[in-house]
Amino acid sequence: MLKEEFISKIEGVERIASASKLNRMLKHPFKYFNAIFFREIIYKNAKKEKEVVSTTFFQTQMHLLLPSSTDIYLIGGKSHDSEIRLAKFLINQLDPGDTFIDVGAHYGYFSLLASKLVGSSGNVFSFEASPTTYRIFEKNAKRTDNILSHNLAVSDSNEQLKFYEFPNLYSEYNSLDVEQFKNEKWFSEYKPKEVNVKSIMLDDFLSDKKSNPKIIKIDVEGAELKVIKGFKKHLLENTPLIVIEYLSDERGNTAHVEAEKLLESLGFQPYIIDSTGNLQQVKSIASFFKEKGLDSDNVVFVNEK
């Protein structure tokens, strides 16, 4: 029943997300006006974020910093089509007692959804490298008993790394490597600041926890290959579902392509999440992206051995 309820709710988010601006405004006129006014007027001048609390489609209260999570604030969920399909996939796949790993958790939207799905007998292990973003995520994680949150980067080594935090509007691009964004129009106005963060290898973490996660979600803006290398040993013996936010050739996807090659050498094959949250195998990610006109999507790697 919980899965059916959540699918119904995320389909409601999907309808609002695809509606006109007028219809979105009419759904929550006061919140809509305040959020858009803040993003377009106040934030652009002051460059200072605003903390709010909103309720997600799965009925969990969530701390957010506007303007970066305006969609969650207004409609209770991430509104991009790929993120809606990812939410459906998690609802379909995760069951009570499962373990979910969230690498690049941001404010914890998918961690909180997974927390509801795996229940008190399951576990969610989440990693967010940005200290600024983690401050908000930690507030959300503390609302649950089954999320263990870490202010750490995930990589192929255990060491101190340079990490770059963008101002709030572009905080989802926080990364170990900012070279990939230097040609973006917004980059000159929204420069990142450099911070030092500790990194961890998932091989060490999973061995220490004696954990065999069902799903590992990776959203790390160019560090995908390093993350995969850091739990290659685990992948030689286990077959989790691995979700990677994958970019098109035009957006610079070298790390994604190399991560794909490594996963394929370990027996994993790429699948796309369809509109129902189920998986469809693809022979070529690049060809699929060109056919559909995509610049990014969540690709699921499956090992069926």
Closest-CA residue to 72 (of 113, 103, 101): 113
Integer Cα distance of 37 and 11 in angstroms:
27
Which pLDDT value is given to residue 73? Answer: 96
pLDDT per residue over 159-182, tens digit each?
999 999 998 988 988 988 877 787
Measured CA angle at 275 (ends 271, 276), to 5 deg: 90
Which pLDDT value is given to residue 253? Answer: 84
Q: Are strands 160-165 and 193-200 parallel, antiparallel or unpaired?
A: antiparallel
Amino acid residing at 115: S
Which pLDDT value is given to residue 77? Answer: 97
CATH 3.30.110.30 fits 2-302, yes or no: no
- For residue 272, the cross-strand partners are 280, 299
138: number of CA atoms within 13 Å, CB side? Answer: 10
Torsion of CA 57, 61, 64, 66, to 10 degrees: 60
H helix or E strand, kind and range, residue 237: helix 232-237
Integer Cα distance of 163 and 152 in angstroms:
10
Please tell me the total number of residues recorded for the chain in this structure: 305
As given in the structure block, the two tokens for residue 186 are 């917004």
pLDDT per residue over 117-160, tens digit each?
999 999 999 999 999 999 999 999 998 999 999 999 999 999 99
pLDDT per residue rounded down to tens, the chain (305 residues): 799 999 999 999 999 999 988 888 888 898 999 999 999 999 988 889 999 999 999 999 999 999 999 999 999 999 999 999 999 999 999 999 999 999 999 999 999 999 999 999 999 999 999 999 999 999 999 989 999 999 999 999 999 999 999 989 889 889 888 777 877 888 888 888 999 999 999 999 999 999 999 999 999 988 999 999 999 999 999 999 999 999 888 887 888 999 999 999 999 999 999 999 999 999 999 999 999 999 999 999 999 87
Closest-CA residue to 226 (of 199, 264, 187, 198): 199
List the chain domain ranges. Answer: 2-302
Q: Quick one: DSSP state of residue 283? A: S
- For residue 99, the cross-strand partners are 123
- CA quadruple 63, 172, 168, 135: dihedral positive or negative? positive
Q: Are strands 61-66 and 99-103 parallel, antiparallel or unpaired?
A: unpaired
Closest-CA residue to 167 (of 186, 185, 183): 186
